[in-house]
Amino acid sequence: MEKKICGAPQRQLYLVPCFEKSLFSKTSRFIVTGLLIFLSLSSYGLDLLKRDTTKRDTVQKDTSKRDTTTVFSFLNAADFDVNGIGKSNYLGHINIYSPSIRGGKLGFNAGIMKISYNSDSSIIYQRENILTNPIKDLKVGDSYNRQLNKYDKIVTNTAYSLYIQPTFTLYSDDDFNRVMFHLHNELLIFNTKVSSSYTTMAQDSLVFTAADSASSNFVARGNVTESNPPTYKTSNLNGYFGAGFTFDLKFGKSGSFFFQPTFGWTTNFPNFQSNLGRRGRDQDKWNTFYLVRAYFTEKLSNNSKIVLGTDIRGLFPRYSPLYSIYAGLSLNIEAVASLFK
């Protein structure tokens, strides 16, 4: 029964990109190497930021402008369940943003992000033969039930992103408006959960006949109770490597708009549905991807901002995108840390 449902066309069951990579494949070793490079670059960047912060402390700026030289922030937000399927989830984002190291054109943007992408659902009606005694072989003359069942499936996606983006400023002005070129390096742990429940819409009691026994098309299964619906889970680690442009613009008197489209290649392969329950080693594959990150911020104080944003990612060319829309409060990490000194 489960095999039949999982084999249904993808557009009926899952409208989200799925994943085939194993955490223990060759690609994982390559990704772990990328993680070590990320940590090394972050350590070096933080050292530069400390020196840069010391220099900035001696410079007085107009308080109506945004000092984007170095920003350590911690976003606490909730996403909106626009599909009305599941529930809102927590979104956390620790970010280190330094577009101008030592006042130059080089900088970087790095962080760790926990995000839940859009849920998806589908409904399938299935006619099935159900054994009245699931541990007894069906023989001629035995009774069984024929049911029309409605299956509800819900797909949820949660990701943990570890990224670093070296940047190069193409344009900047005195109001701290910036346009930058960036390289994108990301490790993404992606968790997908598919849960099912069913409701019997109609039922009839029948007798197993000799004709049924001779037919190769007759299939019967044991009854599955609604208290124990089947659930499938997968967790995959993939690398995302690309480039794009970053627009960091002043918006109003105390607001800002951050817009960042990225395109590149990933080790992720959208083949999760066809591999439910499959065992064995998967082949390494590369695919092109897009990632669009955008958010508005409005300053509440020197150490806090309101944030309204969206995150959209997908694989080219035919797979439906994953997206998240969220709102929350961003705090300056340095200011928060000072409270505990």
The per-residue pLDDT for range 268-289, each reduced to its tens digit, is: 865 444 344 444 444 457 889 9
Residue 123's pLDDT is 84
Pair 107, 167: CB distance under 8 Å: yes
pLDDT above 90 as % of the chain: 32
Cβ partners under 8 Å of residue 338, min gap 6: none
Residue 276's pLDDT is 42
CA-to-CA distance for 294 and 249, rounded, in angstroms?
A: 11
User: Which residue in this structure is represented by tokens 């992606």?
Assistant: 190
pLDDT at 142 over 60: yes
pLDDT at 114 over 90: yes
- Tell me: the pLDDT tens digits for 120-140? 777 888 888 888 877 788 888
Q: Where are the beta strands (DSSP E) in the chain?
A: 71-79, 90-98, 106-131, 143-172, 178-207, 220-221, 231-251, 255-266, 287-301, 304-315, 322-332
Residue 150's pLDDT is 86
Pair 222, 134: CB distance under 8 Å: yes
DSSP at 277: T
Query: What is residue 271's three-state secondary structure?
Result: coil
Question: How many Cβ atoms sit within 10 Å of the Cβ of residue 29?
Answer: 9
Beta pairing class for 106-131 and 220-221? parallel
Beta pairing class for 322-332 and 304-315? antiparallel
Residue 62 banded pLDDT, cuts 50, 70, 90: very low
User: What rounded mean pLDDT belongs to the chain?
Assistant: 77
Question: Which region among 209-213, 232-236, 274-278, 286-290 has the lowest average model confidence (pLDDT)?
Answer: 274-278
CA-to-CA distance for 257 and 178, rounded, in angstroms?
A: 11
Residue with more model confidence, 170 or 195? 170
pTM: 0.67
Domains of the chain, CATH where assigned: 28-121+158-193+233-338 (2.40.128)
